[in-house]
A and B are shown apart, each in its own frame.
Chain A
Amino acid sequence: MKRSWFYQAGLLAAAGLVLWFFVSNTAQNLESRKIASGFGFLAREAGFEIGETTFLAYGAADTYLRALGVGLANTFRVALIGVVFATVLGTLIGLARLSSNWLVAKLAAVYVEVMRNIPLLVQLFFWYAIISENLPGPRDALSPLPGVFLSNRGIALPLPVAHAAYGWILGALVLGIAGAIGATLWARARQAATGAQLPSGWIGLGLALGLPLAVFHAFGAPLAWDTPELSGFNFTGGAALTPEFAALLGGLSIYTAAFIAEIVRAGVLAVDKGQFEAADSLGLPRRRAMRLVILPQALRLIVPPMTSQYLNLTKNSSLAVAIGYPDLVSIANTTMNQTGQAIEGIGIIMLVYLTISLSISACMNWYNARIALRGGAR
């Protein structure tokens, strides 16, 4: 016992010594080479423009800190939407691969094998080239729908002009969703008590969509569109989706979906065949058997590896540098180059990704604990 304590303390001291050596040596080298250090640069004017911003407004006169914030917001935007897309697409492909339809199953298999075996960076270049090389310039943009323009500057979409009613509609939507959840809980309690089933899904959908629609009409259906128009070099007005964002989002979603598909397939296949048969013999319809018996068991196997995929997608979004999407790494790189403070910059990048990754892990672990076997030894 005593000896083990001695070794542990020795190891800790050695690790501390190594760390101290690196930190002090770096500081000394920076000092002797007259390289600026410290985080004071964060408050200085950045002086460069950023192509697209999420939530935060930004101009060249803003600080480096704000520029990094814009980069972080851009990373979040692509990662969040990417996770949703990849999950939906991956689940569909994974289930398709289990389909009894030969063609569907084989197509899904080809998708998985092709997408997960080509490096992501190559795929990003591919999608970016497809968009910027094949689409026409803004002056002869394609217009598949009125007000929607497709060009090598991206997709320009019409946006509803803000109206006082929209706040109320949003409120109605929240209320509707709350109502839907209430209806589901009530239907569940009723079924437990009486055995009678209610179509709670349809009732919920009706509440969630019906309430906002009713409010919309009560206000006299106010709808005006801010349509994009070609003025000078580019489209102005409406909303725009840049080719860089589209290529990055598409590339990340499609690539990660291939891995998610395999995880979903593995999860479903791992559920014992007897469970299907047991559900059948109880007389449960196939869809309800899937939802009530198979999926809850499959999820326990799916969630932990899925967490890894979400983390991968978020970290892979740093490949944005290559195709010019202004994510955190891209902005931090520019900042480092202009201030020369690579160590601080790398430190910020590492800290931010660590924080994001640990947060995702924490959320997924919480979810995993919720769906895990109750009372099981953990």
Chain B
Amino acid sequence: MRTIARVAGAIALAFAAGAAQAQSTLDAVQKKGFVQCGVNGGALAGFSAPDSKGVWKGIDVDVCRGIAAAVFGDANKVRYTPLTAQQRFTALQSGEIDVLSRNTTWTVTRDASLGINFAGVSYYDGQGFMVPKKLNVKSAKQLNGATVCVQPGTTTELNLADYFRANRMTFKPVVIETLPEVLNAYFSGRCDVFTTDVSGLVSTRGSRAPTPADHVILPEVISKEPLGPAVRHGDDKWFDIVKWSLFAMIEAEEMGLTSKNIEQQALGKDPAVQRFAGATGDIGKMLGLDNRWALNIIKQVGNYGESFEAHLKPLGFDRGINALWKDGGLMYAPPIR
């Protein structure tokens, strides 16, 4: 069935004539009236998962909503395509989605050979291991001979093999594509270890484990996993819009602008805020958008900090390296001027 999706993608590539090139993504999006956004179909709480009413929530979803707010002035003009790790790049390449916002690691191989561009980092992550407490394992170095549950087609799968090779240890992978199925395998004891990005471990432990306290996350973080939105290669205008929509959320937090106060602040005298909100200057026009693009993002979606508080804090996430640069973290937006 996954293969069907891939064949469909391949066929779409065969059919998509130069038309896709001639018409820019922005034009196409404006014409159809919504942004088609690829998100995690495994319902990864905190990043992208539908709530009890079927509304998609999470920081990956907020990136999509931010783009819609920038383009249409309405954050709700988004349609979501739930994707597995294996389907995501084909979906983006073939034009099925306009932007991929699905906790995807930015690597040079992906950037250079998949025909996609990463538009920044929305969450700095790293790969970790989760084990049942009763195994009494204290360090990843004790995992020699373990059976490890992992999802295919991820950087996780490659880092895992690298880590065990580098430490002269062996392991047995159990590779299952969908998140619910791979978690079932781990929670039922088919594997000793579940590995993915630490954010994924925290999220699934908090939202899926029968008893969260029965599972521990080992201290080792074995890789850098900067997660961010990606777009198709070759449409610089759309690339800019996605990139600066994300930066606007980070910049707003630094400037102290929130969904509650931005309209008030825009009336004030601070020239940087006035520029940001579109009261002066023509930054929006340069991007090919309404001049109030950033104001719309912050008013309707909130700044990066608000998004983090709303979606990740409740699951037990710390800001950690995802704090603003001035608070000792890595979140830094180039100046919006």
Contacts and interface: CB of A to CB of B under 8 A. Distances in A.
Interface of A: 22, 25-26, 28-30, 32-36, 47-51, 60-61, 121, 129, 132-133, 137, 152-153, 231-234, 236, 243-244, 318, 321-324, 326, 329-330, 333-334, 336-340, 342-343, 345-346, 349
B161 A48 contact: yes
Contact of A26 (B1, B13, B20, B85): B13
Contacts of A244: 174
Given A35-B115, A49-B171, A51-B172, A153 B10 contact: no
Nearest to A50: B173
A233 B85 contact: no
B177 interface: yes
14 contacts: A26-B10, A29-B14, A49-B157, A49-B160, A50-B173, A132-B185, A137-B189, A324-B182, A333-B153, A334-B157, A336-B153, A340-B93, A345-B6, A346-B6
B17 interface: yes
B153 A337 contact: yes
Contacts of B114: 35-36, 340
Interface string B199-217: 0000000000000000000
Contacts, number: 152
Given A25-B17, A333-B3, A338-B158, A33 B93 contact: yes
Contacts of A36: 113-114
A33 B188 contact: no
Contacts of B185: 132, 324
A85 B301 CA distance: 58
Contacts of A28: 18
B162 interface: yes
Nearest to A319: B1
Contacts of B240: none
Given A152-B190, A333-B3, A333-B152, A32 B175 contact: no
B144 interface: yes
B190 A153 contact: yes
B256 interface: no
Given A35-B93, A324-B174, A243 B190 contact: yes
Contacts of A345: 6
A60 B181 contact: no
Contacts of B3: 318, 329, 333, 346, 349
Interface of B: 1-3, 6-7, 9-10, 13-18, 20-21, 85-86, 89-90, 93, 109-110, 113-115, 135, 143-147, 152-153, 157-158, 160-162, 164-165, 171-178, 181-182, 184-185, 188-190, 192, 232-234
Contact of A322 (B9, B18, B157, B177): B177
B115 A340 contact: yes
B158 A47 contact: yes
The 3 nearest A-B residue pairs measured at CB: A337-B153, A35-B115, A60-B161
Contact of A51 (B153, B158, B175, B177): B175
B115 A34 contact: yes
A337 B2 contact: no
Nearest to A61: B165
B152 A337 contact: yes
A342 B9 contact: yes
A324 B113 contact: no
B310 to A, nearest CB: 31
B6 A324 contact: no
A322 B52 CA distance: 27
Given A49-B160, A321-B177, A132 B89 contact: no
Given A49-B161, A330-B175, A340 B189 contact: no
Contact of B6 (A26, A243, A318, A333): A333
Contacts of B173: 48-51
B153 A334 contact: yes
Contacts of A236: 145
